[in-house]
C-alpha cells in the first residue's frame, strides 16, 4: 500500500557521489559527510554510512512523534530518548540486501504500560514508521 502525501511541506535534497564509498551532501550545505563502508562490511570505516544516517533520521523523527502523542496524552517527556539500531544483511531470497530496525525508547517517570501505549501510537504517526511499515522489520521496546 502506498501512502500518498496530501501536501508537501518540505523537501530535503542530497546528492551522493561514490555510493557507499564517497561523499554525500545536502543542497543547503547543512549535511556534508564522507561515506565509507564499515569495517564489518569490508570497508575502512573512515566515514559515516547510510545505516547510521538512517538510524539518526529514524530516531529523531520517532522521538518527535513520541513527544506529540505524549503531549496529547498529557504525559511528560522530559529526559526521554529514542535509540535506533539499523541492521543490514542479505535477504532470504538472495536478491540483495535488506534492513531491520530496533527502536529503544526511554520515558523516565512514565508508567511502563503507558509508555508502551505511547510508543505504539508514535509508531502509527511517525513518517519513518509509515515509510517502513510492511517493508522493514521494526521492533519497538521500552526500557
Mean pLDDT (10-residue bins), the chain, 143 residues: 90 96 97 96 95 98 98 97 97 89 97 98 98 96 97
**22 and 66 inside one domain:** no
**89 and 27 inside one domain:** no
For residue 59, the model assigns a pLDDT of 98
**20 and 87 inside one domain:** no
**34 and 59 inside one domain:** no
Residue 50: closest CA among 30, 31, 64: 31
Quick check: is 2 in a domain? no
For residue 94, the model assigns a pLDDT of 79
For residue 72, the model assigns a pLDDT of 97
Helix runs in the chain, H state only: 50-72, 112-125, 127-132
Structure pTM? Answer: 0.94
Q: Which class for 41: exposed (0-12), middle (13-18), buried (19 or more C-beta within 10 A)? A: middle
Contact between 130 and 3 under an 8 Å Cβ cutoff? The reply is yes
First to last CA, the chain: 32
**62 and 108 inside one domain:** yes
Q: What is the span of the domain harbouring residue 135?
A: 49-142
**58 and 15 inside one domain:** no
Quick check: is 117 in a domain? yes
- φ/ψ region of 122 (left if φ > 0, alpha if ψ in -120 to 50, else beta) reads alpha
Quick check: is 3 in a domain? no
Q: Which class for 33: exposed (0-12), middle (13-18), buried (19 or more C-beta within 10 A)? A: middle
**38 and 53 inside one domain:** no
For residue 95, the model assigns a pLDDT of 85
Residue keyed to cell 526500557: 143
Quick check: is 114 in a domain? yes
* C-alpha cell of residue 32: 556534508
Residue 62 sits at the vertex; the CA angle it makes with 70 and 52, to the nearest 5 degrees, is 155
For residue 2, the model assigns a pLDDT of 83
**27 and 53 inside one domain:** no
Amino acid at each position: 500500500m502506498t501512502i500518498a502525501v496530501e501536501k508537501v511541506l518540505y523537501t530535503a535534497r542530497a546528492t551522493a557521489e561514490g555510493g557507499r564509498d564517497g561523499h554525500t551532501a545536502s543542497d543547503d550545505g547543512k549535511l556534508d559527510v564522507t561515506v565509507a563502508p564499515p569495517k564489518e562490511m569490508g570497508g575502512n570505516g573512515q566515514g559515516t554510512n547510510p545505516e547510521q544516517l538512517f538510524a539518526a533520521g529514524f530516531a529523531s523523527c520517532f522521538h518527535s512523534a513520541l513527544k506529540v502523542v505524549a503531549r496529547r496524552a498529557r504525559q511528560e517527556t522530559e529526559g526521554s530518548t529514542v535509540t535506533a539500531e539499523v541492521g543490514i544483511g542479505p535477504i532470504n531470497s538472495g536478491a540483495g540486501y535488506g534492513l531491520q530496525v530496533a527502536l529503544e525508547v526511554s520515558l523516565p517517570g512514565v508508567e511502563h504500560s503507558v509508555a508502551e501505549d505511547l510508543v505504539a501510537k508514535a509508531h502509527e504517526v511517525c513518517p519513518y514508521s509509515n515509510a517502513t511499515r510492511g517493508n522493514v522489520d521494526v521492533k519497538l521496546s521500552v526500557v
